[in-house]
Amino acid sequence: KSHPNAPPCIRGWIPWFGAAFEFGKAPLHFIQQARDKYGPVFTVVAAGKRLTFVTLNEDFRAFFTSKDVDFEQAVQEAVHNTASINKDCFYKTHPTCATIIKGRLTPGNTAMLSVHLCEEFNDHLENLGSKGTGQLNEIIKSVMYPAVMSNLLGRCNSPSNSLTRQEFLEKFTTYDEGFEYGSQLPDLFLKQWANSKRWLLSLLRNMAIRAQETLYNENDGKTLLQHLASTISDKYLPNYGLLLLWASLANAIPITFWAIAFILANPEAYKIAMDQINVALRDQDKEKTRVTLDDLQHMPYVKWCIMEAIRLRAPGAITRKVVRPLKLRNYVIPPGDLLMLSPYWAHRNPKYFPDPEDFKPERWEMADLEKNVHLEGFVAFGGGKNQCPGRWYAVMELHMFVALILYKFEFTPLDPIPKPSPLHLVGTQQPDGPCRVRYKHK
Ligand code: HEM
């Protein structure tokens, strides 16, 4: 029996199955329909879990800062299933790891990482050749996966030869695509997915060994993996490495796809962006193009396009576990519930974002992005103590990549922009269909 002050609860009519079926078909759309029907706070019982959604911006503060909710307890099971880190170890080590990662990805350190990242982008863009046709998504992954991995986890350790790179691309794609189901089910049910996980863990194991061996040779040039290695000399280092790898690629790379697709589909946006890029990078070599943070400052419009892509394709849901009865409006949410907040839907509130479905880079003119002041109502990176530590790096990385690829290549879209897939709640949206482009070197 529900508590008298508990929020409305959607169970579906097969009691033990709950609303899992309706919810599972298109969870992203289910949230909005449920909100219209049941009000701003409601509980979905799906596959034996209670998910309580908070949909009003006034309640987001409680989600991010209340002492009655907890991030680690909310994600622990997913961490266990996706990276094989057991509960006790996770609770013991996560705070330290989170602190290190946060410290290494400050705006200042992000600026230092940008120099090497630009070299990596140039190198991997060369592999595209002078012209070709392909899926935009695949083109972006083939450059960004190895470049970002090398930049954050170590240059010599990245899959550098083309054979390993191809294998890495395949394995990581399988892992990423199955992440949401994999996070909820034992390996037993997902053979191919579990296989990709094992492959990636063994890659990370090799990288962690090399990271530890070379730890004392270089002082300033330590990678993020080496910083982790110097603090957690734990047998779980490769497992944390895998989580970090996933966190750094899973959201940022689909957003890069959307940013470029939106720019290519909007001739006016494309023109303004290209004008800024061409002025900022004028006279630069098209083979080895150096994009500095100063150059990026001269392309504010490109950054607005990126923020707008992040807004429109923000994560389906983020989560906290209720650990003590949580008062919200007139409700009391019972301990054990997973509290859910959907940045995707929050960004479709016309009160904060007029014409919310439209791609309007100009709306970001009001935000002071240099000081990292976003628009009110923007929650793509979460908030509170566990806000995304990679947010400065993410925006820098996307800004640089989009400028660089549009400077070097001319694209002709061959398909209309696909819809976002409504299938997943974890992370940013994937395209629901093909998006082929023809490209050639300028
Ligand atoms: C556009 C790209 C990105 C988006 C939209 C995004 C979004 C998020 C969100 C919503 C969270 C959870 C926050 C919360 O629950 O309050 C998160 C966590 C995290 N993100 Fe990102 N992220 C992005 C890129 C990155 C990048 C590039 C990195 C690494 C360089 C990164 C590293 C992490 C890590 C390590 C966590 C877990 C933090 C913890 O354990 O406390 N993210 N991200």
- pLDDT at residue number 310: 97
Mean pLDDT of 7-30: 68
Residue 376 CA, ligand 1 centroid: distance in Å: 19
- The structural domains of the chain, ordered by start, are 1-71+316-346 (3.30.43.20), 86-315+347-441 (1.10.630.10)
The residue whose CA has the least distance to atom 36 of ligand 1 is 388
- pLDDT at residue number 11: 76
* Whole-number percent of the chain with pLDDT over 70: 91
Q: What is the 3-state secondary structure (H, E, C) of the chain?
A: CCCCCCCCEECCCCCCCECHHHHHHCHHHHHHHHHHHHCCEEEEEECCEEEEEECCHHHHHHHHHCCCEEHHHHHHHHHHHHHCCCHHHHHHHHHHHHHHHHHHCCHHHHHHHHHHHHHHHHHHHHCCCCEEEEEHHHHHHHHHHHHHHHHHHCCCCCCCCHHHHHHHHHHHHHHHHCHHHHCCCCHHHCHHHHHHHHHHHHHHHHHHHHHHHCCCCCCCCCCHHHHHHHHCCCCCHHHHHHHHHHHHHHCHHHHHHHHHHHHHHCHHHHHHHHHHHHHHCCCCCCCCCCCCHHHHHCCHHHHHHHHHHHHHCCCCEEEEEECCCEEECCEEECCCCEEEECHHHHCCCCCCCCCCCCCCHHHHHHCEHHHCECCCCCCCCCCHHHCCCCHHHHHHHHHHHHHHHHHHEEEEECCCCCCECCCCCECCCCECCCCEEEEEEC
Mean pLDDT of 143-155: 89
- Structure confidence by residue, pLDDT tens digits, 374-396: 889 999 999 999 999 999 999 99
| Annotation: binding site for heme | 388
Mutate which of 92, 224, 388 for ligand 1? The one with the most ligand atoms within 8 Å of its CB, which is 388
The residue whose CA has the least distance to atom 37 of ligand 1 is 388
- pLDDT at residue number 372: 66
- pLDDT at residue number 373: 67
- Structure confidence by residue, pLDDT tens digits, 31-56: 888 898 899 999 988 777 899 999 99
The rounded distance, in Å, linking the Cα atoms of 26 and 348 is 17
Residue 364 CA, ligand 1 centroid: distance in Å: 21
Looking up tokens 């109502």 gives 377
Residue 173 CA, ligand 1 centroid: distance in Å: 18
- pLDDT at residue number 183: 84
Nearest atom (ligand 1) to Cα of 243? 35
Please say if the pLDDT value at position 370 is more than 80.
no
Nearest atom (ligand 1) to Cα of 244? 35
Mean pLDDT of 138-163: 82
Please say if the pLDDT value at position 13 is more than 90.
no
- pLDDT at residue number 368: 77
- pLDDT at residue number 242: 94
Around ligand 1, the residues with Cβ closer than 6 Å are 71, 98, 101, 105, 152, 244, 247-248, 251-252, 255, 310, 315, 318, 380-383, 386-390, 393-394, 428
Residue 250 CA, ligand 1 centroid: distance in Å: 9
- pLDDT at residue number 371: 67
Mutate which of 93, 251, 372, 393 for ligand 1? The one with the most ligand atoms within 8 Å of its CB, which is 251
Minimum mean pLDDT among 45-54, 111-120, 227-236, 304-313: which range? Answer: 227-236
Nearest atom (ligand 1) to Cα of 97? 40
- pLDDT at residue number 12: 62
- pLDDT at residue number 230: 79
- Structure confidence by residue, pLDDT tens digits, 236-257: 889 999 999 999 999 999 999 9
- pLDDT at residue number 209: 82
Mutate which of 344, 381, 393, 426 for ligand 1? The one with the most ligand atoms within 8 Å of its CB, which is 381
Residue 247 CA, ligand 1 centroid: distance in Å: 6
The residue whose CA has the least distance to atom 32 of ligand 1 is 390
Nearest atom (ligand 1) to Cα of 314? 5
- pLDDT at residue number 421: 87
Residue 391 CA, ligand 1 centroid: distance in Å: 7
- Structure confidence by residue, pLDDT tens digits, 419-432: 998 877 888 999 99
- pLDDT at residue number 162: 67
- pLDDT at residue number 102: 95
Residue 389 CA, ligand 1 centroid: distance in Å: 6
Please say if the pLDDT value at position 150 is more than 80.
yes
- pLDDT at residue number 367: 85
Question: pTM of the full predicted structure?
Answer: 0.94
pLDDT band at 342 (very low <50, low <70, confident <90, very high): very high
* Calculated CA dihedral for residues 373, 376, 381, 382, nearest 10 degrees: 120
Please say if the pLDDT value at position 16 is more than 60.
no
Please say if the pLDDT value at position 18 is more than 60.
no
Residues 6+ apart with CB under 8 A from 442: 286, 407, 408, 409, 410
- pLDDT at residue number 21: 60
Please say if the pLDDT value at position 231 is more than 60.
yes
Q: Is the ipTM of this complex over 0.95?
A: yes
Residue 37 CA, ligand 1 centroid: distance in Å: 31
The residue whose CA has the least distance to atom 41 of ligand 1 is 386
Mean pLDDT of 60-67: 96
Please say if the pLDDT value at position 201 is more than 90.
yes
Nearest atom (ligand 1) to Cα of 320? 15
- pLDDT at residue number 72: 96
